[in-house]
Amino acid sequence: MKIAGAKVLLTGANGGIGRAFADELLRRGAGKVYLGVRNASGQTFPDDPRLEVVQLDVADAASISAAAAKASDVNILINNAGFAAFTGGIAAPSIDAARREMDVNYFGPLQLTRALKESPVFSSAGAIINIISFLGLATLPAAGTYSASKSAALALTRTLRAELKAKGTRVVAVLPVQVDTPMGAGLPEPRVKPAEVAAEALDALETGLEEVFPGHLSKEAAAGFKADPAAVQARLSQFVRPI
């Protein structure tokens, strides 16, 4: 599948990975890119007629419906918007952050995908790219509720891939480790660059890869998990927030 000429709806377009996706989509010749942002106030994007800013809060059903109606001609959906509270399950003062993580990281992509059922996304020319996290595979207890939301997102991605196979829709899971974005500012270095995430995600779509670990760090983590998942989980389980 080629990006050239494609019409794309990109969520979380104002974030680090979102900005990188917008740049890479334009570079590869996308015909139209709807930039889904929760708040467009004060946001600046490249001056390109192929870009259109769309108000989109993936945790709000009415906002999802309005954005899906406006971008009903898209054939590629990139579910990139995310939220991380970096809290444990019991250590957090309440479950409010955990609910927010599930709303943004799991229910948001599910509702937006369903809202686009009548669009070209659901066709042999269509595709969905879900930006997940390596923590969808292995749990970091210090960010336990985020890990849970990303595990749910990975399960959803694999479900969509199976359900949409008959329609020919491509469904790609992108599972980076720590990325150099404002949301990941507190994570250890080195970090994966947002441009690596965007480029390798689109490479995966164009070459037929279903699950991609962008950047050398993510590939190392994936290889370690494949060789000994219990060892990787045991190492991550050392990082626990005090109760």
Q: H or E segment at 101?
A: helix 96-102
Contact in structure between 166 and 124 (CB atoms under 8 Å): no
| Helix ranges, the chain (H) | 16-27, 61-70, 96-102, 108-115, 144-163, 194-207, 215-227, 229-236
- Tell me how far apart the alpha carbons of residues 143 and 84 are, in angstroms, rounded to a whole number: 8
Instruction: Look up 146 and say whether it is catalytic.
Output: yes
Find the Cα–Cα–Cα–Cα dihedral 201, 206, 211, 214, rounded to 10°.
Answer: -30
| Catalytic entry in 122, 146, 213, 225 | 146
Residue 120 identity (one-letter amino acid):
P
The CA-based angle 149-153-154, given to 5 degrees, is: 120
Q: Which residues are catalytic?
A: 146
